[in-house]
Structure 1
Amino acid sequence: MEKSVAQAGVELARFIEQHPRLWVITGAGVSTDSGIPDYRDANGQWKRPPPVQHGDFMASLSVRQRYWARALVGFKALREAQISGAHQALAALEAMGFVELLVTQNVDRLHQRAGSKRVIDLHGRADLVKCMTCHYQMMRHAMHSEMARMNPAFAVLNATHAPDGDADLETDFSTFRVLDCPRCGGILKPDVVYYGDVVPAERRQAAQAGLNKADAVLAVGTSLMVFSGYRFCRDAHSMGLPIASLSLGVTRADTLLSHQWRAPLTPVLTHAVKRLTLGQRALDTHGLPSSQNRQGASRS
């Protein structure tokens, strides 16, 4: 249901006060204010062709040529992205003691840059590249610098930025030289879970362990259309946990939600944080324990 920013902020603050151990899951909507495009519209439908499939990337040199040539142009959007008000508000909620764990489906590392510490990058991180044979790792910017040197004609191209460091570039990619692993000559791939791939078991288990300690789920800026994120909401529902969503559109979990606010993320989160901050100050003024201390006590 669409609501005013103030009303949604008040209700969200109340939800957080009632459930001070939040398991938060975020999606692309959190980073759109940072200038990073998203894939889906308000109805959860694709706005553009789906991203590359894991099997296609691994099997086809031409797919990798197209991927890396476009990334050479588009990764600038990820590299230069600045944290948004939504990132800052979620970091503030953690600092206030309200976040048990934040699981992000984004690969931009902006939550960490905003100050969040209890973070699991469910789908990996785009700033790191890994060899699929020997597991050699290198930073993405170093790989891009080398491929720019190898492909000077591509390095000067411009195109509209697309999600996850892609670009809407269409040209003949057959001459693009792809950098292979400097150690073994294997295929280098961003340390990201592509479509058709699976989330590493230890990462999924760590997210589940956090969910087991939480008393509610808050989904922010995500349609939850991807099963790897939706599954946790399904599990939370089976555990009897309330699930709230703050986004601009529908979600795959709409029928599971106890609370839903279709409103802009940053102003609603900021409004909620301000109300919670005022509430904590009032408690401190009267010599009562803060919500963070109450949360710590409830875990002991």
Structure 2
Amino acid sequence: MRVSVPTIPQFLLERVPSRPPISTTAAIERVADFIRPGNVTVLTGAGVSVDSGIRAYRGKDGRYMNPNYKPILYHQLVDRTEKGFRFRQRYWLRSFVGYPPVRDSQPNTTHFALAALQYKSVISRLITQNVDGLHHKAISHVWDEPTRQSRILELHGTLHKVSCSSGHVVDRQTFQDWLADANPKWKEFMAESERTGIQPRTNPDGDVVLEGVSYDDFVVPDCPTCFSENKRNCNHKPHLIFFGESIPQDVKGRSFTDVECGDRLLMMGTTLATFSAFRLVKHALEQHKPVMLLNVGPTRADDIPEVEKVEIPTGTILRQVVAAVLGNETHDPAVTEMLRSGVFNPPSNDSNQ
């Protein structure tokens, strides 16, 4: 089976249209004018979480930032043979090390600005390709979980839940504790990393690259529920979509419905390299909806004339966009608090961290 990491086709990278730089003032005005009518569906990608310290997959030139990175593919993770077990050892060791930076990340100013627009119903639905849960964190103080689940669609799943192959679900921190208890050497490694602040480079899915490491002695614990039923089962998977895995039909269908229910589609922080996101652009255009893309660098939609592109970092303008759209409604205490909130902690350019 041949599965490759999704990317922007080379011919698009080679013919990226040249656009004059846009001023901050002009960008604020264009984005505000686009969303002011309301009932907007928003699609976000990894670029939205960069200011929270989570690296994007691709750089400003649109190319994969670590071309030698080899993620675990879906068919490898679920393989029930000894070979599959080795893949799971590799995945869960790297994810054990990489999960805490994602778990501990906090929403940035873009997350909170979007939350303010969601709270005021300017954004009616939000679809995210991110698995970090930061959109939920940003609005959890004003929306309960059922409301969040109905208004935020995690297109590629979440890193914060794990299931065994029999379907027993556990929250990720509990699973993280199981991994720590089963692997005291790596538990100590993590404690040392926390003391020194030196962490391996973490990808948006919580995976890391560990050089010169043997995975052979890493213990992936059995599912306790399966064990209580006299079964041994250490085949676990996080609730995210792996490369080579299909998005569930109910999630795919809901993503199309969310686009259809909105009057316009605003995308931000995404190169649209994955087809699961790009097909939503195509669907919106087929529905004759206005489409805007807010992203720095090349994207898969750059040669589509119907897509209006604004090339500027979201964190630079989105608070001002919210103020321009909501006007006096920014005096709502909840909105005021959101527009004062958000970290700015972009990751280091050091590829070893």
Asked if 1 retains the 8 angstrom alpha-carbon contact of 2:301 and 2:307, the reply is: no
The runs of 4+ residues in structure 1 deviating greater than 6 Å are none
**TM-superposed deviation, 1:40:** 1.0
What CA distance in whole angstroms lies between the structure 2 residues aligned with 1:180 and 1:243? 47
* Structure 2 counterpart of 1:123, from 156, 169, 175: 156
> Match for residue 77 of structure 2?
57
**TM-superposed deviation, 1:263:** 0.8
* 2:50 matches 1:9: no
What CA distance in whole angstroms lies between the structure 2 residues aligned with 1:207 and 1:43? 28
* Structure 2 counterpart of 1:183, from 221, 225, 233: 225
Q: Deviations over 1:208-247 (max 9, x none)?
A: 1121111111111011100111111111111111110111
> Match for residue 36 of structure 1?
54
Q: 1:221 to 1:155 in 2, by over 3 A?
A: same
> Match for residue 169 of structure 1?
210
What CA distance in whole angstroms lies between the structure 1 residues aligned with 2:301 and 2:244? 21
> Match for residue 138 of structure 2?
114
* 2:95 matches 1:71: yes
> Match for residue 87 of structure 1?
111
Asked if 2 retains the 8 angstrom alpha-carbon contact of 1:237 and 1:243, the reply is: yes
**TM-superposed deviation, 1:279:** 6.4
TM-score (norm 1): 0.88
What CA distance in whole angstroms lies between the structure 2 residues aligned with 1:110 and 1:14? 26
* Structure 1 counterpart of 2:129, from 74, 81, 105: 105
**TM-superposed deviation, 1:167:** 2.1
> Match for residue 245 of structure 2?
197
TM-score (norm 2): 0.75
What CA distance in whole angstroms lies between the structure 2 residues aligned with 1:174 and 1:210? 44
Q: Which amino acid aligns with 1:9?
A: I
* 2:266 matches 1:236: no
What CA distance in whole angstroms lies between the structure 1 residues aligned with 2:295 and 2:61? 11
**TM-superposed deviation, 1:71:** 1.5
**TM-superposed deviation, 1:168:** 2.6
What CA distance in whole angstroms lies between the structure 2 residues aligned with 1:154 and 1:65? 13
What CA distance in whole angstroms lies between the structure 2 residues aligned with 1:95 and 1:279? 15
* 2:316 matches 1:267: yes
SS in 2 for 1:259: strand
What CA distance in whole angstroms lies between the structure 2 residues aligned with 1:137 and 1:172? 29
**TM-superposed deviation, 1:280:** 5.5
Q: 1:31 to 1:165 in 2, by over 3 A?
A: same
Asked if 2 retains the 8 angstrom alpha-carbon contact of 1:44 and 1:225, the reply is: no
SS in 2 for 1:254: coil
Asked if 2 retains the 8 angstrom alpha-carbon contact of 1:72 and 1:155, the reply is: no
**TM-superposed deviation, 1:32:** 0.9
Q: 1:150 to 1:281 in 2, by over 3 A?
A: closer
Q: Which amino acid aligns with 2:174?
A: A
> Match for residue 226 of structure 1?
274
What CA distance in whole angstroms lies between the structure 2 residues aligned with 1:151 and 1:83? 31
SS in 1 for 2:36: helix
**TM-superposed deviation, 1:267:** 2.0
Unaligned runs of 5+ in 2: 1-18, 194-198, 227-231, 332-353
Q: Deviations over 1:236-276 (max 9, x none)?
A: 11111111011111211223343211111112111111111
